[in-house]
Chains A and B, each alone.
Chain A
Amino acid sequence: MNRPIRALLLIWLALLVVLGLGVGVALLELGTWSLVLNLALALLMAALLVAVFMDLLHAAPVIRVFALGALLWVFLLAVMLPVDYLTR
């Protein structure tokens, strides 16, 4: 609950830095590497947003389990959906 202003500002700066990195990586056009790095950076930004701006860090244990569950379900979709397309 009591997130100090300094922490919030730091996270905001971190987000902007990661954004800059992402744009940089995209502009370098490294092909598959850009793809992987850009997705990783997006996940990192999402993690920061969820952990601090949505305050998952201080949420009750059940809530953290829920968040993990939601992630697992996205993962299920992300893993199972391409199976067909990758093996056609």
Chain B
Amino acid sequence: MSDTVTIASHFEDAEQQREAGLMGMWLFLATELMLFAGLFGAFGIYRGLHGEAFAEAARHLDLPLASINTAILLTSGLTMALAERSVQAGLIVVARRWIVATVALGAVFLVIKGYEWHHEFAEGLMPLLGLPFDYDGSHPAQAELFFDFYFAMTGLHALHMLVGLGALAVLWVLGRPQPGPRADRYIRQMRITGMYWAFVDVVWVFVFTSLYLLRS
């Protein structure tokens, strides 16, 4: 196998190169995890301090829409895994179709998210940049804190989605069927992007749970 693989000059063999790349990605995701841990930690503390106010504020969010959106994102996780599988089986054409599906689902997710944001903006629930905050519940101050976190968390997650979509677009372009050494590299890139995408799903699961589901 190794005669069909390009190995960077500082590595001994393909195995070392592949394992190093994977390990690097896992470590990178560990740092991402800690990044979000800081954010969720802060949210968790406030959730503990102002439980009632936060639960009430959570009920101002669009749960049905967000649930559908979550299902869409989870499905994109499936299509991504299928894309990876196809590449490993050498079916680049099929893989590229799955990439398209993943990108499409990701884009739909973002559109729905954008619609939600717009809705909150229209309702006066977007306390950013000095916009008025019109809240009809009983704890307007703490609710404002909740919405600050809502926009910080969903915004940061959306940013990660955009990065993922960018990576997928690159993979799609690179993925014209090619023989030999490139294929091996493509498999590695696909694997790494797949891990990242699944990680973004994991983050969303917690964003969704913290913001939308903790409503009582």
Contacts and interface: CB of A to CB of B under 8 A. Distances in A.
Task: Indicate yes or no for A touching B, C-beta below 8 A.
Answer: yes
Interface of A: 1-3, 5, 8-9, 11-12, 15-16, 19, 22-23, 25-27, 29-31, 34-35, 38-39, 41-42, 45-46, 49-50, 52-55, 59-60, 62-63, 66-67, 69-70, 73-74, 77-78, 81-82, 85-86
B202 A50 contact: yes
Nearest to A50: B202
A80 B47 CA distance: 16
10 contacts: A11-B78, A19-B74, A23-B67, A34-B215, A35-B214, A42-B213, A46-B206, A74-B34, A77-B38, A78-B44
Q: What is the size category of the interface that chain B forms with chain A?
A: 35 or more
Interface string B67-105: 100110011011011100100100000000000000000
B131 interface: no
Nearest to B23: A63
Contact of B81 (A30, A53, A82, A85): A53
A42 B201 contact: no
B78 A9 contact: yes
Contacts of B125: none
Contacts, number: 125
B159 interface: no
Q: 6 closest A-B pairs (Cβ-Cβ)?
A: A29-B216, A53-B198, A26-B213, A70-B30, A42-B209, A12-B78
Interface of B is mostly: helix
B213 A22 contact: yes
B112 interface: no
Given A63-B23, A74-B37, A12 B74 contact: yes
B22 interface: yes
A45 B77 CA distance: 12
B23 A31 contact: no
A3 B7 CA distance: 27
Contacts of B41: 77-78, 81
Nearest to B198: A53
Nearest to B58: A26
Contacts of A85: 45, 48-49
Given A8-B82, A12-B75, A42-B206, A54 B88 contact: no
B172 interface: no
A70 to B, nearest CB: 4
Interface string B203-216: 00110110011111
A4 to B, nearest CB: 9
B175 interface: no
Contacts of B199: 54
A55 B77 CA distance: 12
